[in-house]
Amino acid sequence: MLKAHDRDPAALPRLGLTLLAIVLLWPGIRLSEVDLGVLFDPENSKTMGQFLSGFWPPAHDPEFLQILLKATLETLAIATAGMALALLLAIPCSLLASRALSLSAAHRNGRPAWWSQALRWPVRGVLILLRSVPEVVWALLFVRAVGLGPTAGVLAIAITYSGMLGKVYAEIFESVDPRPSRALLVAGSPRLLAFTYGVLPNASAEMLSYTVYRWECAVRASVVMGFVGAGGLGQQIDLSLRMFAGGEVASMLLTFLLLVLLADQLSRVLRARLQ
Amino acid sequence: MNLTLEGVGVTHANGHVALSDIDLRVKPAERVAIIGPSGAGKTTLLRLLATSLQPTSGAISLLEQQPWQIGTRQRQRLRARIGLIHQAPPLPPRQRVVTAILAGKLGEWSAFKSLLNLLYPVDISGAKAALARLDLADKLFERCDQLSGGQLQRVGIARVLYQSPQIILADEPVSAMDPVLAGHTLSVLSSEAAARGVTLLASLHAVDLAMAHFPRVIGVRAGRIVFDLPSEQVSQAQLDALYANEQLQPEPSITVQTPTVIQIPRC
């Protein structure tokens, strides 16, 4: 028999929390109609098995590789052009939305005046608006407006990602050491220059890493948008899936893996250069 | 008068009275040392004069202008004519010394020139000359995180010398240097100020340095000016009274806003 002080006093609360989590999780599982049983149904697993067996070997005939190369380049172009447009909007918005460049904060121990805070809200609202609608929805909209093709994908990425980049940049500016830029502001420097000399040297590595990561996300998003007709690898995967050409899908998924690896290495190299 | 304070007081947001009833007049080209125990309000006084802090009461006039009665744009122009040397110079660690020094002129240069300066330093010889006066010319192209505390302080002084303001304010400018270097650096700063006819106010924790390099000494204690005399008239009794029971009065902590760590959302 254990004496009272030999027992872990944290055991009971932990047990209680675990039970609580399970009790809360159960309605969620019921609501989302998760039934793992269908995975083990022999009929279903046979269909899936047939579909997956088509994945091997990956398609590699020259004609398909030609198409694959073109689709990959198109995907990269959509992601890059979308990001470039997004940056055009995100950088000015982040500068306007960030507290880091507040002139009134420089002589108020870092607390901006209420009216300067109020002026930042509309910009924040615009950024929230831009990123609250998923890029696929924008893509569907633009496919109707500008027709099938990569343009719809580029515009959709530009809009959603400018909202995300703008918000995160603004937060990065606020998270770095505020003293260099404040010292410059108090020495009479204009705000934009206090930013480039005081904030940017400290924030650039973080910004770069996030931007490259977003670019990687844009590559993935452009594939999803391909399914709704916005060009690139996605449209190709959609076609191959419809034709049950598993080998082609496999090749394209491998291309994907390579693209993400590439983005990862790029981010590492750029960060190392900036350290 | 280059600089006038009348009945100036500063009360922090947490209710702590940092300065009260400060009357101070400084003529052009005067050199003044501010001494006093830690927490007496020396830094607050200098931040007030640098317009990096707004007084809660009283009137302040710098270079014939009232900094808190004029517009933002005019205030920025006024600020460009005042240089503050920080105790720990706030320089981005990855910035090069040459950029950090040339940043002193940001208030004066056009935006185009300042941005160009980031691509290629536009005035290497000017930065080198400012640094050479402090015997640090060989560090011109080093990064700021490669320097020691004392070297960084000298870069901070070089930046303000390059800014060439009409008032130089220095907050413990030599605190991270050994006594010999501290004396030498202070004499450089003081002779530069004298040669250019610039007003110099420096807070110092070393009384002997204040007496040796400054013709006028101000003693500050508990947010008030205790004495304001030519340095040869300051008596030992006054100094003893200024620093009496220093350990017994703990410095009230002022909450410093620390940068928040952000959680960057991933996909």
Q: Answer whether B103 sits within 8 Å of A201, measured CB to CB.
A: no
In a domain, B132, yes or no: no
Residue B204 within a domain: yes
Tell me which of A49 and B215 has the higher pLDDT.
B215
- Reported as a single tens digit per residue, the pLDDT across A214-260 is 998 888 888 888 888 777 888 888 888 888 888 888 888 888 889 88
The one-letter amino acid at B164:
S
Q: How confident is the model at residue B133 (pLDDT cuts 50, 70, 90)?
A: very high
Does pLDDT of B255 surpass 60? Answer: no
Answer yes or no: is A234 within a domain.
yes
Confidence check: pLDDT of B252 > 70: no
**Chain A residues close to B97, C-beta within 8 Å:** none
Most confident of A244-248, B99-103, B203-207: B99-103
Chain B residues touching residue A180 (CB < 8 angstroms):
90-92
Q: What is the CATH number of the domain that holds A149?
A: 1.10.3720.10
Domain assignment present for residue B229? The answer is: yes
Which among A107, A188, A220 has CB closest to B107? A188
Mean pLDDT of A91-118: 84
One-letter amino acid of A134: P
Per-residue pLDDT, A80: 92
**For chain B, how many structural domains are there in total?**
1
Nearest to A175 among B89, B115, B259 (CB): B259
Q: Which of B76, B261, B266 sits opposite A188 (nearest CB)?
A: B76
Task: Please indicate, yes or no, if residue B59 is contained in any of the structural domains.
Answer: yes
Exposure on the CB side of residue A106, measured as CA atoms within 13 A? 25
In a domain, B146, yes or no: no
What's the total number of domains in chain A?
1
Nearest to B261 among A110, A175, A190 (CB): A175
Asked if residue A142 is part of any domain, the answer here is: yes
Question: Which residue in chain B has the smallest CA separation from A214?
Answer: B267
Cβ contact B90–A213 (<8 Å): no
Flag whether B99 is in a domain: no
User: Would B183 be classed as within a structural domain?
Assistant: no
Query: Where residue B247 sits, what CATH number does that domain have?
Result: 3.40.50.300
CA A165 and chain centroid, separation: 9
* Chain mean pLDDT for chain B: 88
Does residue B248 lie within any of the structural domains?
Answer: yes
Chain centre to alpha carbon of residue B123: 24
DSSP, residue by residue, A132-175: HS-HHHHHHHHHHHH-SSHHHHHHHHHHHHHHHHHHHHHHHHHH
Report yes or no on A39 lying in a domain: no
**What is this model's ipTM?**
0.88
CB–CB of B80 and A183 under 8 A? Answer: no
Boundaries of domain holding A220: 62-274
What is the identity of the amino acid at B37? P
What confidence score (pLDDT) does residue B122 get? Answer: 93
The answer to whether the beta carbons of residues A74 and A231 sit under 8 Å apart is: yes
Q: Which residues of A touch B108 (CB under 8 A)?
A: 188
Determine the straight-line distance between the first and last CA of chain A, rounded to whole angstroms.
Answer: 59
Q: Which domain holds residue B53?
A: 1-81+198-267
What's the rounded Cα separation, in Å, for the pair B7 and A260? 65
Cis peptide before A57 (omega within 30 of 0): yes
- Tens of pLDDT, residue by residue over B23-69, are 999 999 999 999 999 888 999 999 999 999 999 999 999 999 999 99
Would the CB atoms of B90 and A182 count as touching at under 8 Å? Answer: yes
Q: Which residue of B has its CA nearest to A178?
A: B259
| Residue in B closest to A108 by C-alpha | B53
DSSP line for A34-99 = --THHHH-HHHHHHHHHHHHTTSSPP--HHHHHHHHHHHHHHHHHHHHHHHHHHHHHHHHHHHH-G
Residues of B at the A interface, defined by Cβ within 8 angstroms: 12-13, 50-54, 72, 76-84, 86, 89-95, 99, 103-104, 106-108, 111, 114-115, 118, 163, 257, 259-262, 264-267
Residue A275 has pLDDT above 80, yes or no: no
- Which residues from chain B sit within 8 angstroms of residue A172, using beta carbons? 262, 264
pTM attached to this predicted model: 0.82
